[in-house]
Amino acid sequence: MRYYRRVLGLIASISICNASIRVARPIDGDLKKLLSSGATISYGASTAPRWSEFHAPQPGTIVSVATETDVEVTVQYCLEKNIPFFAQNGGHGWSSSWHLGENGLMINLRGLNTVVFNDDKTQARIGGGASIQEVIDAAYGNDVHVLTGNCNCVGYLGAGLGGGYGNLMGLYGFSVDNYLSINVVLANGSLVTVGPENEDLWWALRGAGPNFGVVTSIVSKTTPLPREQNMAWVGGLYFTEDKVEQIAQGIENLKLEAHMNIFLYFITSGTPDYMPTVLVTVFYYGTEADGRAAFKSILDIGPYTDTTAVLPQNQWNEGADGFCVKGERKPTYAAGFSHMVPSTWRQTWTAFTEFLKNPDTGSTSVVVECYSLDKARSIASDSASFPNRDVRFNGFVIAWYPDPALDSTAETFGSKLRDLWRADSELPTNRTYVNFAYGDETNDVVYHDSTTRLRQLKKQYDPNNIFNQWFNLQR
């Protein structure tokens, strides 16, 4: 698989945090006897490294669960003993809002990685520990279409509960539009199943799930589809930097139909030269001929390399695997906006190349995602707490480096780009997709017009603010 392999140039050396401080809490015996035989307890954050070390939580205790009941009893134990906690799957959430320290506990959900289809393949129960790659592989192997995010190593539910963008959303809407039921451990320690009949909690979980509980599994719609039909024309088009303005205008003018999406990247060529370059990735669910016709205006700009190919769904995301490396520091700033303004993207390119002059920053990248939104917008905007159906583009910058001494420089750089995009977003207020947010955003920025109702429901379902690590609704 070679399409846009130069994304792998994002990878520099890995530096994994090796803190291993044992928490002074006698939980081995007390909690262990409540857990299933497959669950384990370990100590030190190094046993569960995160994608980014920047402002990463440092829990002293890790409980790796094997069943949904393990999650329930662990939450109950933490409530009884007044132990702060949070749950993670892949550890890719990059928000700086984490504040869990050595006295805290992390529930590792990776053991809940099952994907089980019903008899007619129209539904799947997906565990809270399943990765996007595992869900895709299971679906493809069972001749099923399933909507997932676009980064294989990320947790399927971590990506989906915030809203859930993905290659097939032009056909199926957002991830939260496809959920049929949600199993969740609430702030009172109970494991419950929530569905549309539970109107308030059902609404809140689909967009702000981490604020209301630990989701242990969901049931999602799926579509039976022979794997020979599960193909798309995907890949990378590389351009020289003098075409930045043309590309921005081309993406602005492009009408994305249901089978299409397009991303813009500013990346480097990787080792040894780390030369900055412009990459556009295209996706067309269908034939190459139809895909090339649909993206003709972009192709006509003249890429110097074309790595597109027709691939099955279980290979669509491979070009982004370079983003999956854990460790190092990756403060990330993001903004939603309505238009691609060419002059803004020239300024973005200039700031990007200036930042690359700092040592060991060659894995830094700027990304813009654009999907077909017609299907998503046909679903009522108040059907879920996810608020961003009206946002056309999501841009983010990952400042990637190993040395904490660059933190201030990186934050200045990231803030500058976020401010640039906000300045001509043509949205009434600042908006950022919660899964892409840095962590300093207000509730109104990440939850927009869902904020008031979410705060009211938070008081009802989590009055003691147990779930306070992820864009705290009570701040």
Please indicate, yes or no, whether residues 201 and 268 belong to a single structural domain of this protein: no
Q: According to the model, what pLDDT value does residue 47 have?
A: 62
Please indicate, yes or no, whether residues 268 and 155 belong to a single structural domain of this protein: no
Answer yes or no: is 174 within a domain: yes
CB 152 within 8 A of CB 166: no
Please indicate, yes or no, whether residues 222 and 240 belong to a single structural domain of this protein: no
Domain that holds residue 389: 230-447
Helices 244-253/342-355 angle, 10° precision: 130
Please indicate, yes or no, whether residues 235 and 359 belong to a single structural domain of this protein: yes
CB 6 within 8 A of CB 279: yes
Please report, for the domain that includes residue 324, its CATH number.
Answer: 3.40.462.20
Nearest to 166 by CA among 369, 415, 380, 402: 369
Please indicate, yes or no, whether residues 147 and 99 belong to a single structural domain of this protein: no
Q: How many domains does the chain have?
A: 3
Please indicate, yes or no, whether residues 244 and 202 belong to a single structural domain of this protein: no
List, for the chain, all residue ranges whose pLDDT scores fall below the cut of 50: 1-24
User: Which of residues 89, 108, 127 is at a domain's end?
Assistant: 108
Please indicate, yes or no, whether residues 373 and 391 belong to a single structural domain of this protein: yes
Structure tokens at 408: 């201030």
Please indicate, yes or no, whether residues 244 and 390 belong to a single structural domain of this protein: yes
Contacts of 38 (CB under 8 A, 6+ apart): 66, 67, 111
User: pTM score, two decimals?
Assistant: 0.92
Please indicate, yes or no, whether residues 281 and 399 belong to a single structural domain of this protein: yes
Q: According to the model, what pLDDT value does residue 51 have?
A: 93
Please report, for the domain that includes residue 80, its CATH number.
Answer: 3.30.43.10
Q: Which residue has the tokens 């003249």?
A: 302
Answer yes or no: is 7 within a domain: no
- Angstrom distances, CA of residue 233 to CA of 178, 261, 263, 309, 460: 24, 11, 14, 5, 47
Q: According to the model, what pLDDT value does residue 90 have?
A: 87
User: Which of residues 178, 209, 226 is at a domain's end?
Assistant: 226
Nearest to 172 by CA among 379, 456, 427: 379
Please indicate, yes or no, whether residues 133 and 95 belong to a single structural domain of this protein: no
Q: What is the CA radius of gyration of the chain?
A: 22
Please report, for the domain that includes residue 216, its CATH number.
Answer: 3.30.465.10
Please indicate, yes or no, whether residues 101 and 214 belong to a single structural domain of this protein: no
User: Which of residues 226, 243, 268 is at a domain's end?
Assistant: 226
CB 204 within 8 A of CB 211: yes
Please indicate, yes or no, whether residues 295 and 394 belong to a single structural domain of this protein: yes
